Every structure is written in C-alpha cells, then in structure tokens.
Chain A
C-alpha cells in the first residue's frame, strides 16, 4: 500500500474517533525541481518536498475547512481539530454538503521522474536559440520546473480518487531591447509531459518573441476612437477568465449581481463564440482529473454558438441557488477555432489594435473594463503600423463577446489551454 493510502486510513480513523460522520479530505505529496535563470545565466536550483492535507467536516449542517502541511499523526489531528473548530463556530446551512459517491478511480499522467540533465540541456538550448535568433530580446528570467504530484481524495460517501502526475513547465519573462529602447515586459509559458522537442517550439514562444521584437518599433496616434480589437490567445484567456468571474461563477450567481443570472439557454454572445472547460482533450497536458468538490471532472460547455450552456458553480453555490453543480473547477479553456486566418482578420480592420495583454482594474460587477493595452499593435486600413504604448482600451466584457466578428483558424496550444485570436468591435481606444 502506498503512503497516501496508508495516511488516508489514518485520517479516517482520526475523523471517526472524533465522531465525524460527514467529511472529505485530500492528501498531496509534491516534489518540485526548479531551475531559475537571471539575465540568461542559471542562478538557482530549487528542490521542494511538500506535504499537504486539506479537510472539510460537516457537523449538523455546519461546515469547517482546514489545511496543513504536517502529515504526522499530530499534524493530521491538528488539521482535523481546526476543521472541527470551524464547524462548531459556523452556521447551519442546508446547502453545505459532501458530494455523492463516485466510482473509485486512479488517474496517471505525464512523466513521473524528472530528467534534470536533459531538462537543463533543453533550457540551455532555449536560451541560446533566443540569443541567436532573437538578438533584440533580453530574457529577464526563466523559471522552469518539473513537478511530480501524488494526490488522494476521499469522502464519507465512499468516493476515492488517486492521481499521479508529472509535468515540465517553463515560464519566460523577457523584453525587447535594442540597446537604446526597452519594450514592456512580455511573458511566455508552456507545459509538457515530454522533452522530445526544443522548448521554443511549444506554445506561442516564437510568435510572442517576434511580437516583442516588433514592439521596439513604436508608432502613436492621438485622441480616441471606437474601433476593432483583435485579442491574442494569451489576452483572450485573460478576458475569458474575467468574463467567468463577472458573470458565471459562484459568488456573482449567489449574490445576484451577475448580469447573466438567469440567461442559461439564451443567446449571450455572438454565435461565433464556443468555449468549454475541458477535462479530457489530447491537446492539453494540464487538466484536472477530479474537481475541488469531489466529482470526476467532465468536459463542460460554457457557451455554444453564443448560447449560454452552463454557469460555473461550486456544489455549495449550486445547492444554494437550486442550479446544477459544475463538474469542472479547472482553467483548462478551449475555444473552437473560426474560419479566418489571423492575416485575413488584420486585413479586414479599418482602424484598431491587436491587443497582446491587458493591464487594467478588476472589472466591476457591471463588466465595464478600462486599462492599458500591453504588447499591442496599431492597425490602420488593414495594415499593422507599429507598436503602441500608453494606449488605453475600455469597454464592457459582455459586449466584447457579443460583438465578435471573427475567430481565427489558428489555435495557440500551451498545454493548459487551446485558444484562438478573437476579433471584436466597439472598443474605445485612447492614444496619448
């Protein structure tokens, strides 16, 4: 029997000894080996051995939650005590519950043991490729790791999930720099199960590096206008996350502030928009096997051809509002591609921007957003005129997705999502 199975029996014994009849818990053992560079030189090799336990207990309808890092008997006992203290001081609520029994399953994915010599070689190759092929790029930092995770979830209804995962991840922080000018920071990231090909071929590394070099050639425009915006896949991911937070997730549905509170089954966006949260997709390496509530994760359509199919609700929020629970708590976003190439999309723009990043205030509950367009390019009469800085965009999250006029054929696959370029109208764009 492996260590987590043994520990899970111990947790059950402790819970039962304290008379707890309804509970769920997760045990995790994580081993991370991480390499960092500073200004293209390796600077840090970090190895982390983490143990984690989280426990939810439900006593007379009152829920207490606790987590800790100590998997000794004493540590488990303390974590359970903390959860019980929370429950004892909590409020009875019929919406508090433990997910019903799921079939026992063991999930295995990725490369369990890191090959750090090969990883070091691949990372050195990535740095030397950037230096050779993109001499106007200054890499500020590379953070790369292999993380091996063993998790076990169990609950008092008899569910038992176990997962083993091993994943290589790379995050690069860089800027265009020609010796005189420096662009703003750019970030590129990707994850993979294998090191069979050069890391620069993963995700959108090359395209983003090319954009950072192009960002050295600044252009500007004065005043403001209502125009077209093409969001890059990276930026689209951010907008989808903001959209979910503002209109679809538990808190805004429970407190009634969502602008799409009762819109399931209705048209909420352009029919060009179809996106899902994925549990299984051969293009993704970062998916969750089971949800935070204790359900086996499923593919969940969120918007299909503009129709809102599902809100994104926890078990508590679902029970509280009488709606279905969402069996996916990941950020594994997949948007279906469209029928235009990025070049065709650019050629169709009379006046607007390609927006590669957004630095903005958290949109209020109304969905109105306003912020700086980062890593962005000005388009006029179908042609890219140059990069812009000090340029602001503002609009409304719902309208961004209602006013979509094109979705690209190209998809960016970075291991955790599959997203296209998305073209939308009616964004207010303000220059210097």
Chain B
C-alpha cells in the first residue's frame, strides 16, 4: 500500500528538480536483565514518509509520521518549497549532479517479528546459566537489542527499490572486583548479527562455551595490571583493527568531511599506510561472503558497490553521495543513508574492513619481545585530523614472545596515517563486528572488520 502511495506521488515530481520519496519503518526491541531483574522490556515502532527534492544543488526535505496519501502530498509539497526557499535565498554557489541508471537489486528479506516472551525467555536462560555456574560475580547483565529498517525508495532519476535491514544481538556482561585496585572490572561479549531473532538465537545453549571463556577472561582481568604508558609495539586484535578502519580512517575519507578539510584531502593518491594495508568499504559481499550488514541500494537511489579507500597503502578514494561524487569526479557507490523516516541521507560507512594478510596470530605473538596484545575495544572516536582514540576493554602483556598477564582498561591513541605506516604483520583471519551504531547527526548501524595487526601505538596506561 505504501508502495502504491509513493509511486502515485512520483507522477507529481516537479520538472527540473531531482526527487526521492521514501516510505520507511523502523522497529526496535530491547530487553535487559540486570542481576536477574527485568529492567528494560521495550518495543518501539516508527514509520513515515519523506521526500527530498533538489533544486540547483539545494536540498529541501520533509517528512511526516504516517503512511497516508494526504501526508505523502504534504511532504512532497513542503520539500519542494523548502528547496525553492534555499535556491532563492542563497548565493547560488551549489551545483546539481547527474542522473543515474536504474537497476535491479536482490529481493528484500522479510523481517520476522517474534513475541517478547521468547526474547525474555532466551535472556533468562542465559542469565540462569551464569547465576548458577558463576555465583561469585559482583554483577551480571544480559541485554537483547534488535533494530530493523524497512525502506521503499522511489526516485525521479536513479534506481528505486525495496530494502530491509534486520539485525539483533545479545550482550553478556560480567563484573568482578579487581585484586590490584579493589575496584570493579567488567568484560562483555556480543552474540548475533544480521537477521531476526530466530536466525540468531533459535537456541541459546550453544552460546554457553563462549560465556565460559568470557568468565575466564574476567578472572584474568580481575588479576590484571595497569599497562605501561607510552609508544609500544602491539598486536591490535581484529576487532580493534576494525575499529581503526572505521573511526580513524573511514571518517576522514567521508567526502563531506574531506570537503570540510580532513587530512584525507591533500593525501589522495599518496601513501598513507604500509603497503600491506588495503581498506575497503564493502557494500554487500566481501571475500566471497555476504557481509554482516549488506547494502544493495542507498537512500539516493544509487545501486551499492564497494568503495576502495586504501589499496596497497595508497589512498585511492572517498565515500560519496551523488553530489560529492560529482564534485570529486568519483563514482557514487551507495553510501548515502538515513536512519529514521524523518532523516535525510548522509554519507555513511557500510561494512568497512582492513583486508587480512598472511601471518598467523601465533607467529605474530612470538615475534614480540615486549609489548601488548589488545583484544577488545569498548568504544572509539576520531578527528578529521586522523587523531584517534579507542578504549581497550581486554588485552594482555606480551613478554618474550608469550602472552602474559591481562591488563586493566586503558586507551590507545595516535594519528591514523602515521600509525598505519608502522603496520608490518597482518594475520590471515578477518573478525567482523556489526552490533554498533556510528554517530554523525544520525545514528547508523555499521559493520567493521580487520585482521590481527602488528603495529606501534600509544598506550595511555598509568
């Protein structure tokens, strides 16, 4: 029905303007058990219609929270008037962009809804296992999160289609008191990925062995020591390398930030990393497999393809909208995406990965006399200068080629294009992570990946 409403409105797209209408529904489910207490039990749904109209390079956008013919007409009219307002008020410094070919995309995956009862039961089963098996914990929490987007996109001068993005995760967190400081320490494991509840959690018992490993990590971290501050030789685990790919490099090569003066601007075509490093923002398929969060069509009607950002250490491209691609003389690859029905498309990453190399993790550890293996990260941030920071939530000393004691929470930082030049070993395994949101005016689900990576980095220990 919404498809018919939007398609009907497409007949009224104004001449001389570039128009996109989107019917868009988001759904979230969230359950949290804190020490066995159900502290969150939430179901949310939002849906609406938006229109974006471009006149002389100026965007007008409008949205309304319904799926009615009246509101479809209203938002198209409002967006058209908004574009006209800017076009008449502003100085005329902006330019339009060319039409794109239409094309076909794979059928969308139907989003299956599951009863809250099943979700809560799954969380309670995990919680009961932890409570029974590990009664000595200071605290524990089990959090189920699910979000999905369902979009119908109709454009005046590009591709149109119906796409969906379902994903769901269970976060398991355990807390104990550290021996060294007497203060709490925690560890977290995330299960799940693309698809609905049943795709990921038909049974939760198979998660228990990983939960057992997580408990062992907590016991190691409980006896953990502070990392020594300074510039160190380290192995960044695959999740850390993925965070680096996203935060420290990915953001600087988003074309809107390049236009804003990011460090990537003057470095296009130049070496920015060791020649071992190739970095790609994948659309839907990487190394022969479907990526965690596949994108086939973006919200400007661009059929998605991979954006190669660094090849063999050379900065080769940016991630673009249709407008920025025209500005930089590049091809748009489908990076313009919107989170909610009332959001306009922005340049966003999709599945950003540093490609694996040929070393094994074991030989990488054996190669370090004094350093660290930084396994897991809690969060990360970066600047347009490429200066980055990641929280390290799990890591170990490496002494004389062997793993030593676990370290307490710390932070690593550096300048991306300096630090990437120190990469001299990459493992042959790729670790994907896809549970997070990237923040940039709007939130957006993103996938990120990397191999284990030997490099030098600054650690902010004691």
Residues in chain B near residue A52, CB distance under 8 A: 46, 65
Residues in chain A near residue B193, CB distance under 8 A: none
Residues in chain B near residue A283, CB distance under 8 A: none
Chain B residue at minimal CB-CB distance from A85? B116
Within 8 A of B (CB), among A64-93: 64-72, 78-79, 82-83, 85-91, 93
Within 8 A of A (CB), among B43-71: 43-48, 57-66, 71
Binary contact readout B200-213 vs A (1 if CB under 8 angstroms, 0 otherwise) = 00000000000000
Interface size class of B (residues with CB under 8 A): 35 or more
Task: Tell whether A46 pairs with B62 under 8 Å between CB atoms, given A69-B48, A140-B261, A257-B184.
Answer: yes
Chain A residue at minimal CB-CB distance from B260? A140
Chain A residue at minimal CB-CB distance from B385? A184
- Identify the stretch in A107-115, A195-203, A263-271, A359-367 within 8 Å (CB) of chain B at 4 or more residues: A359-367
Task: Tell whether A70 pairs with B344 under 8 Å between CB atoms, given A39-B260, A63-B41, A120-B89.
Answer: no
Within 8 A of B (CB), among A341-363: 359-363
Complexed CA–CA distance, A254 and B139 (Å) = 10
B44 A255 Cβ-Cβ under 8 A: no
Does B276 touch A at the CB level, under 8 Å? no
Does B370 touch A at the CB level, under 8 Å? no
Count of interface residues, chain A, beta-carbon cutoff 8 Å: 80
Residues in chain B near residue A78, CB distance under 8 A: 45
B460 A392 Cβ-Cβ under 8 A: yes
B61 A251 Cβ-Cβ under 8 A: no
Complexed CA–CA distance, A138 and B415 (Å) = 21
Residues in chain B near residue A65, CB distance under 8 A: 40-43
Task: Tell whether A85 pairs with B43 under 8 Å between CB atoms, given A259-B183, A390-B387.
Answer: yes
Within 8 A of A (CB), among B73-96: 74-75, 78-79, 82-83, 85-86, 89-91, 93-94
* Residue from the list B45, B61, B63, B120 in contact with A45, Cβ < 8 A: B61
Most A C-beta atoms less than 10 A away, residue of B257, B393, B413: B413
A370 B61 Cβ-Cβ under 8 A: no
- Identify the stretch in B164-172, B375-383, B447-455 within 8 Å (CB) of chain A at 4 or more residues: B375-383
B262 to chain A minimum Cβ distance, whole angstroms, is 8
A49 B175 Cβ-Cβ under 8 A: no
Does B7 touch A at the CB level, under 8 Å? no
Within 8 A of B (CB), among A17-67: 38-39, 41-52, 63-67
Complexed CA–CA distance, A91 and B381 (Å) = 38
Chain B residue at minimal CB-CB distance from A258? B184
B120 A89 Cβ-Cβ under 8 A: yes
Measured CB to CB, the residues of A under 8 A from B are 38-39, 41-52, 63-72, 78-79, 82-83, 85-91, 93, 95, 116, 120, 138, 140-141, 143, 173, 175, 177, 182-185, 224, 251, 254-257, 259, 316, 320, 359-368, 370-372, 374, 389-390, 392-394, 428, 430
Residue contacts A-B, CB under 8 angstroms, 21 given? A41-B90, A47-B78, A48-B62, A66-B42, A66-B44, A67-B46, A69-B46, A69-B341, A71-B65, A89-B120, A90-B120, A184-B383, A185-B384, A254-B39, A359-B383, A361-B377, A361-B393, A365-B185, A370-B461, A390-B415, A394-B461
Q: What are the 8 tightest A-B residue pairs by CB atom distance, in nearest-first order?
A: A361-B391, A366-B183, A89-B117, A140-B260, A45-B82, A69-B46, A365-B184, A370-B411
